[in-house]
Structure 1
Amino acid sequence: MSTDPHSDNLDPSSNASGEAPAMAGGSVGGDQDGWQAPDSGTFSGASPYPSQGSPQSGYGNYQTPPVGQPGSAPGYPPPPAGGQPGYGPGGGYGPGNPGSGGYGPGYTPYPGSAGYTDYTGYSSVIAPKPAIIPLRPLSIGEILGGAFESLRANPKAMFVPSLVVMSIMGLISAGGFAFFFSRLSLPGVTTSEELTDAEIEANLDKLWSSIAGLVVQTGLTSVLTVFAASILTGLLIVTVSRTILGRKASLSDVWQRTKPRVGALIGQVIIIQIILGVATVVFIAIGVGVFWLPMSSVIANGGDDGSAGLIVLTIIGLVVATLAFMLGLFALGCKLCLAPAALILENIGVFEGISRSWALTRGYFWRVVGVRLLSTIIISVVSWAASSALNFVTQGLALMAPNAMLAVLAGSVLVSSLIQAVTMPFDSAVVALIYTDLRMRSEGLDVELRRAAGV
């Protein structure tokens, strides 16, 4: 996307929020606006923060202290070479230092006063915040809060594409559902009368063909939904990336930026689904070999007390293994979740995007898992609440109009797609902010973003 003001629908003279427009040209110019990969030639590639676990970091995974914590205010000098800060000569707190009152001269009673020494061993500044997040490594709360802020900052670009695409998918699903269920002539759904055995026997072929058609239609709709969701993810990531810089991108700008990468996004989601599918097949094969075959052999040979105990242990082991597999699949998804953001924002290839996601999450795996788990819980709670309300309404309509049950069920399918359309922007925003946070931590991306945002 171009860095010209018109490409972001931003007029500096009418920017009521005070957000700074991006710098035109310069080392971060061009269509990437500060999101270039470290090897692109315009990226500095050096993080200004101590590495994770460094003795200087002082804040664990957060590295740079959040605002309000010791060391967060600007201008604090590093500790002098004469001793450990705060506890000996040159540190300012110990007895015998001139001018400290009761604690020794030079003592500063609270962080932020003149001469305060940052005990973390390096100076920190208050990071600029062009829009939804400060341009520094983020806390988990700032990632989730920034995702909500992105929805409020540009609701049109965040919600309209999702609602349009998922409405189309919902209409296709609801139409297919209504068509095939209408052919089934199920009592209580499409008719108000009980069918006789002769009628059921006469309609048996139509019954099976309708069920098969419904399964095929559901499968095709699911595939189309996955492809549509991959394109939507790209659109939403672009929107969030512009919002981070303090810009409000229009729908046409976001589409123009994403359109050349649509094929790559679909290809990438296919590759990721293949990876997850292979992992699932391997687990099923292991489960069949380890659990099902021994249990089926015991059942075939007749059971005694020992065999019953073995069957119970096998079932427990299968449940535990299934839970472990689900957690492993979720963890694998976390390792790959940044691939669309890398593909779109760094303008790289399908496999390069997957490789970048794997590399960026290295060393921060549990952090990514924690953020994704929290966002999944939030989305699940919202979806559950909306679905519960939908079920309540559906049951009420079914009681009031039993002959319209099929229409009510088809409508619930459509509304379920709309619920997904509402939660999808939040999920994509979380992914974009995780990607931004990890690059700021490991590659100093915040320096480039500050230049791009003009702050």
Structure 2
Amino acid sequence: MIPLRPLALGDIITGSFATVRAHWKTLAGVVLAVQAVVLPVMALVVGIAFASVHQHFDPVFDPPFGEDPAAEHLVPLVVAAVVVFVLLMVIGVLGVSVTAALCPAVLREAVMGRPTSFRALWRSSVRRAPAVAGAMFLSGLIAGAPVFLVLAAWLPLVFSAGSGEGAVALLGFLPLLMLAAAPLAVWLGIRFGLAPAVVVLEGAGPVTGLRRSAALVRGDWWRIFGYTLVAGMLAGAIAYAIQIPFNLIGTFAMMPVLQGIPEHGTPSAGAVAAAVFAVVLLLLGGAAGQVFQIGFSHLASAMLYVDQRMRREGLAEAILADLAAPAPATPPAAATDPAAPRRPAGDGGS
């Protein structure tokens, strides 16, 4: 799928597209399986939360005139909202982690010229998803630390200044502080951006993945930043183009519905069906665009990992030697990166 030499930007983009084109069935199958698990679980979480606190909605959102909502009704809603937010965040991160683990696994088989199967890649992706989620969480936490620190220092100052001119003056400092924190956050994000690929392709743990990513990026930050930026912009543009047909059809489907609803009355069954059809189209378009954007971005990141290994650690020669050697006794799907750094027993893991 890619030339076994240091890669230029064009090689990374074309290699990512070639991998998607050659293995789109497997990629789509695993991603759809993830969505089939994640979306019902999310719906179940929201449904349980709504059933638990639905009796508090009217007292909070429609209290008697001139009265504030009582704490006995407001507190359960706040607690439920926080719990639902945390659970949905965890479920979503795990779902994205499976996709993030899938892309390097597919690329490994593509680089080695080996066939892929849904079952093998599903097992590999699910097995490495917790470690990938840990690497993504740690890298996001570290990269976001400058922004968090700015907010942690700025918010108490604003509250302590009250509502006078001091608070207004402090509000003007936030953009300046963010301008100072944003470059550091971007630098840290690129420095640890190869960690998911390291976790999958080297079987490393989250902390080891961060260390390896920093070592591979060191001295080559600007090139990796530029390639990552171009790949991300391209993925976003194509994802938006994927959504356009769904959005157009959904919008045109909604027009007769809106025109056919009587001013004082209930909509017909046909209008309800058309509205449901339009909403489903919009959701499908958004999901398809997001899946492509996430998958392509992670494929490009895995390509950058392979590129850095070829530039610094002789990965191309190791791959050629592995291909020239007799077939191993282990199944191809279980084979690992031939040039993966050896780690002592017990090191790494998920």
TM above 0.5, yes or no, is yes
The answer to whether the aligner puts 1:420 opposite 2:287 as a matched pair is no
The structural deviation recorded for 1:382 is 3.1
Counterpart of 2:7 in structure 1 is 138
Contact 1:342 1:357 in 2 (8 A): yes
Q: State the distance in 2 between where 1:220 and 1:379 align.
A: 28
Counterpart of 1:159 in structure 2 is 28
Q: Deviations over 1:168-223 (max 9, x none)?
A: 33444466668888969x9xxxxxxxx99869999998898667645643432222
Q: CA RMSD in A?
A: 4.2
Counterpart of 1:361 in structure 2 is 217
Counterpart of 2:232 in structure 1 is 376
Counterpart of 1:342 in structure 2 is 198
The answer to whether the aligner puts 1:292 opposite 2:158 as a matched pair is yes
1:75-154 alignment, distance < 5 Å: 132-154=1-23
Q: State the distance in 2 between where 1:357 and 1:345 align.
A: 12
SS at match of 1:248: coil
Q: Deviations over 1:260-300 (max 9, x none)?
A: 534433333343344345444212123346x7369x36x53
Counterpart of 2:38 in structure 1 is 169
The structural deviation recorded for 1:410 is 6.9
The structural deviation recorded for 1:239 is 0.7
1:1-400 alignment, distance < 5 Å: 132-173=1-42, 213=80, 216-258=83-125, 260-276=127-143, 278-288=145-155, 292=158, 296=161, 299-300=163-164, 303=165, 311=169, 315-387=171-243, 390-392=246-248, 393=250, 396-397=253-254, 399=258
TM-score (norm 2): 0.70
The answer to whether the aligner puts 1:434 opposite 2:317 as a matched pair is no
Amino acid at match of 1:332: L
The structural deviation recorded for 1:244 is 1.4
The structural deviation recorded for 1:137 is 0.2
Amino acid at match of 1:370: G
Q: 1:431 to 1:292 in 2, by over 3 A?
A: same
Q: State the distance in 2 between where 1:331 and 1:213 align.
A: 36
Amino acid at match of 1:237: P
Contact 2:239 2:288 in 1 (8 A): no
Q: State the distance in 2 between where 1:167 and 1:181 align.
A: 22
Once the two structures are overlaid, the 10-residue window that deviates more, 276-285 or 149-158, is 276-285
Q: State the distance in 2 between where 1:167 and 1:259 align.
A: 14
Q: State the distance in 2 between where 1:421 and 1:254 align.
A: 17
Contact 1:170 1:415 in 2 (8 A): no
Contact 2:147 2:182 in 1 (8 A): no
Q: Between the two structures, name the one with larger relative contact order (CA 8 Å, sep ≥ 6).
A: 1
Q: State the distance in 2 between where 1:173 and 1:415 align.
A: 19
TM-score (norm 1): 0.56
SS at match of 1:348: coil
Unaligned 5+ segments in structure 2 are: 326-350
Q: 1:169 to 1:360 in 2, by over 3 A?
A: same
Q: State the distance in 2 between where 1:389 and 1:238 align.
A: 31
Contact 2:253 2:278 in 1 (8 A): no
